[in-house]
Structure 1
Amino acid sequence: MTAYYEQARDNDLFLTTAILDPQIDRSAGLDNERIAERFLHVVKETSDGIVVRGAKMIATGAPYTHDFIIFSFLQFQTEHRHHAHILIVPANAQGLHIVCRESFAEVTEPNHILGSRYEEMDAVLFFDDVFIPWERVLLYGDTEKVLTLRANKTANALAFHQTVVRYVAKLEFVTGVAFAVAEAIGVTGYLHIQEKLGELLTQVDTMKALVIASETMACPDESGVWGPELSYIDTARNVGTRFYPRAIEILQQVGGGGFVQTPSGMGDFYGSISKLMHLYFEGASVSAEKKVQLFKLAWDLIGSPLGARHELYERFYAGDPVRAYASQYTRADKTAFTEPVWKLLKEASKHGAKRI
């Protein structure tokens, strides 16, 4: 691990992960032969390394990565040793196929300011008997150790911290676009619009507060590595799955039908109907050109393939939202909340007995 870390650091390597298993039959697990054969597993061991077969998803940035970090969120049993591994796989490994979704990149920047700049491809990986040398096999065969490494609190806290920082940045941006749209069409004076814009501010402040809390309560682990407090990070990741779709919904409601009334391009502002374009697309506080540019930017967030992808991405980036909330409950120290309740009831019972 140390050797690879130093290699990646010194050579400025780009890495991405593929940690999910293909959606074949969610009701079946590794005890099902049909599923076990298609989930990534070791089919051969040699003195030089291992050979793996199966599929992994979702590899964001796959076409331009140097290496893939491969592991799984499966709950392994002892007998599942061939599926228990953590690997570093070169993107140019023989037998590795990268199957990309349709690209959402746009070439006309004035019409798609976000789509022309920030598309990041997602892909499924097919491993058709791919050889992995031992120096790229971080763990293999020991299900308990794989689960232990995957659950490492410090590693997860540091990895998930960037998730919340990303939420802050994206929510701030959506809020800025919503404010600008509201000002451009003169609706900031309406109470129901103010309520929605205020809700966006509470989202941003909530996320920022959770980041600050996680950093303020940071502490070192047994190795001396400092990491943010994971409980606040978990809360932020959970509420983020609901905040971002709601922020997009608010932006839709603020702009309304104006989003589908923008011209297909900016050329008409300089053509034969230029005067009419400036007359009828003008905003309350901005020129017609600025208003159209703004609405096109907003459309990239709420209506374009790129925008739809990002909404889906934020809903499920942290995994199944239902399980994430449930997991936060099951891991929590419930006694810290219930003990005061039982203490109050006990005291009330004593006072009641004395009066009787």
Structure 2
Amino acid sequence: MMMTAADYRESLRAYRPRVFVNGSAVESVADEPLLAPGVNAVGITYDLAHKTEHLPIMTARQGSSGKTVNRMLHINETSTDLLYKLEAIRLVCKISGCAQRYLTHDALNGIFQATRRTDDAHGTDYSQRFINYLHEVQDGDLTLGVAMTDAKGDRSKRPGQQANPDVYVHIKERRPDGIVIRGTKAIVTGAPYMHEFLVMPCRTHTAEDADFAVCCAVPVDAPGVTIVARPAGRPGEAAAKFSAKYGQSTGVVIFDDVFVPHDRVFLAGEHEEGGFLTTSYATHHRHSCIGARAGFGDLLIGAGALMIEANGLDGDRHGHIRDAMVELITITESFYACGVASSVYCVKDPAGSVMPDAVFSNIGKLLLATKIYDMHKLAHYVSGGLIVALPGPDEDHNPETQGSLSAVLRGRPDIPMEQRMEVSRLIEDLTVSHQAGWYSVISLHGGGSPEAMKREIWRNYPMNEKVELVESLLDRGVLEDGRRVLKQPGRCCATGCEVPSLPAPAPDPQPPTPVAAE
């Protein structure tokens, strides 16, 4: 049965994770004020799944069980699924800023593909284990944290070369009934208020580092798990018009000899498939990030329009304001259009699910990662300097200053001064506060750095098609000396194509062997 936000909050009380925030132990995650904005944000994904008008995008029929599940837990089977997922994420993020739960979706889809591939290559039973676990998660309507980014230590060294092996999560011991894992995941979104963690590799591994290629599910309160987290948003701050209600905690999660039974282990040393899982998850997640930042763009566009109005300006009459707003709209809808294209041109996976097109997903994510600062700048331009110069909200009720401020801080006479001040503080919260800097960084680095996206675009782009097109126009054909080697795959394969070497010269013909007469 699908939960509501209230049900979700109550469900957290069934867990007793070891959590520290701002140096103090947290007794109850569900009741901790410093984590409330994060719990509220995830709660949006639960409540909208009960709204009749949002049911088509917020719920889906899971093919492997026939049950209706929350969209954030669905394995995508068609391009329509991907489009609806994109719309669902945009919806929840335009309300919450970042609803976080879509990471659960991205990890489930990546693991679904990787376990099938591992079974086909190694004869394992990971896929059935995962399907059983998936149905448990869907039936319980859980939210899962993605424990993917390792602490990494010295970035110039591979995991097995680190002075301290615990900077990467790895298999410490293999037992007849499961494995024991140890190590640290450094950036886990929403860590304190998850139900379970999906531990996943964050990079490709070699055979020598096979013990670092591990994927498994671990309850947040499993023995040996410690979460060291930061507050979610800006709880309790009167000036935080948005992030006092909605925010995101991130946590360092330490796994100190944590036992994981076999039925929750989905990869245990299969390093090549671990690399595939990392890439697969990244493509799903970058596709989701497009929807998330489009929702954030909606917030900036709406707030900017309100501020322009409160300032007494009009886009129809003031061209510089109109141009800035059009640029903000263009940026937002451009990267969202990449998400739509990625959905439409999806690829069917052998596991039976669909993968967003990697080129369009990575281009969309690269655009939002590098344009987030321009989005902030444009919101600043159309809003004016009041968003950082406005007195704090305590002055709103100060009898010594309230009257004077009300008289001089009004813009248009038909718009209350209070409305102008509220919108100003909202834009300040979204674009120039500590929380705003956080939005910038997660946009830039969330789901991988821009360099990672550039590599994926280059690796997956069908360069051969473009070369052959131009060569056909030039009537040249492929170079005869065989020197060209293009590593881009083209649309005919998924692993990359290389020009084969020239065939060896044929041996000198031999005279025919006489055949004896019968």
Structure 1 length-normalised TM: 0.88
Q: Give the stretch that moved more between structures: 138-147 or 334-343.
A: 334-343
Q: 1:281 to 1:216 in 2, by over 3 A?
A: same
Aligned match for 1:163, one of 289, 300, 303: 289
**Corresponding residue for residue 291 of structure 1:** 420
CA contact 1:84–1:143 (8 Å) conserved in 2: yes
Match status 1:30 vs 2:156: no
**Corresponding residue for residue 303 of structure 2:** 177
Aligned match for 1:75, one of 204, 207, 222: 204
**Corresponding residue for residue 274 of structure 1:** 402
Q: 1:62 to 1:4 in 2, by over 3 A?
A: same
Q: String of CA shifts for 1:82-136, please: whole Å, max 9, x gaps.
A: 1111011111111111111355332245x32211111111011111212112222
- 1:163 is paired with a residue of what secondary structure? helix
**Corresponding residue for residue 318 of structure 1:** 447
- 2:226 is paired with a residue of what secondary structure? strand
Q: 1:327 to 1:175 in 2, by over 3 A?
A: same
Tell me the CA shift for residue 239 of structure 1: 0.8
Aligned match for 2:391, one of 250, 257, 263: 263
Q: Distance in 2 between matches of 1:149 and 1:19?
A: 11
Match status 1:19 vs 2:155: no
**Corresponding residue for residue 229 of structure 2:** 100
Aligned match for 2:472, one of 306, 320, 343: 343
CA contact 1:48–1:133 (8 Å) conserved in 2: yes
Q: What are the within-5 Å matches in structure 2 for residues 235-274 of structure 1? A: 235-265=363-393, 268=396, 271-274=399-402
Match status 1:214 vs 2:342: yes
Match status 1:333 vs 2:462: yes
**Corresponding residue for residue 495 of structure 2:** none
Tell me the CA shift for residue 291 of structure 1: 0.5
Tell me the CA shift for residue 207 of structure 1: 2.9
Letter in 1 for 2:420: K
- 2:299 is paired with a residue of what secondary structure? helix
Q: Give the stretch that moved more between structures: 45-54 or 157-166.
A: 157-166
Q: String of CA shifts for 1:267-296, please: whole Å, max 9, x gaps.
A: 535734433222111013622110000001
- 1:56 is paired with a residue of what secondary structure? strand
Tell me the CA shift for residue 265 of structure 1: 1.0
CA contact 1:25–1:35 (8 Å) conserved in 2: no
Q: Distance in 1 between matches of 2:273 and 2:346?
A: 26
- 1:72 is paired with a residue of what secondary structure? coil
CA contact 1:29–1:35 (8 Å) conserved in 2: no
Please list every run of 5 or more consecutive structure 2 residues that lacks an aligned counterpart in the other structure. 1-129, 477-518
Q: String of CA shifts for 1:282-328, please: whole Å, max 9, x gaps.
A: 01362211000000100111122222111111111121102311321
- 1:58 is paired with a residue of what secondary structure? strand
Tell me the CA shift for residue 204 of structure 1: 2.5
Q: String of CA shifts for 1:142-169, please: whole Å, max 9, x gaps.
A: 21232234444xx665544322211221
**Corresponding residue for residue 50 of structure 1:** 179
Q: Distance in 2 between matches of 1:35 and 1:238?
A: 33
CA contact 2:358–2:460 (8 Å) conserved in 1: no
Q: Distance in 1 between matches of 2:297 and 2:387?
A: 20
Letter in 2 for 1:82: D
- 2:154 is paired with a residue of what secondary structure? coil
Q: Distance in 2 between matches of 1:223 and 1:135?
A: 19
Letter in 2 for 1:165: G
Tell me the CA shift for residue 240 of structure 1: 1.2
Percent identity over paired residues? 24
Letter in 1 for 2:297: L
Query: Pairwise CA RMSD of aligned residues?
Result: 2.3
Letter in 2 for 1:60: T
Letter in 2 for 1:259: I
CA contact 1:38–1:53 (8 Å) conserved in 2: no
CA contact 2:214–2:269 (8 Å) conserved in 1: yes
Letter in 1 for 2:275: L
Aligned match for 2:332, one of 204, 207, 220: 204
Q: Distance in 1 between matches of 2:258 and 2:351?
A: 35
Q: 1:107 to 1:50 in 2, by over 3 A?
A: same
CA contact 1:104–1:305 (8 Å) conserved in 2: no
Tell me the CA shift for residue 78 of structure 1: 0.8
**Corresponding residue for residue 350 of structure 1:** none
Aligned residues: 344
**Corresponding residue for residue 351 of structure 1:** none
CA contact 1:107–1:116 (8 Å) conserved in 2: yes
Q: Give the stretch that moved more between structures: 305-314 or 31-40.
A: 31-40
Letter in 2 for 1:278: S
Letter in 1 for 2:291: V
Q: Distance in 1 between matches of 2:375 and 2:347?
A: 33
Tell me the CA shift for residue 11 of structure 1: 1.3
Q: Give the stretch that moved more between structures: 308-317 or 185-194.
A: 185-194
Structure 2 length-normalised TM: 0.62
- 1:57 is paired with a residue of what secondary structure? strand
Q: Distance in 2 between matches of 1:267 and 1:212?
A: 46
CA contact 1:40–1:55 (8 Å) conserved in 2: yes
**Corresponding residue for residue 186 of structure 1:** 312
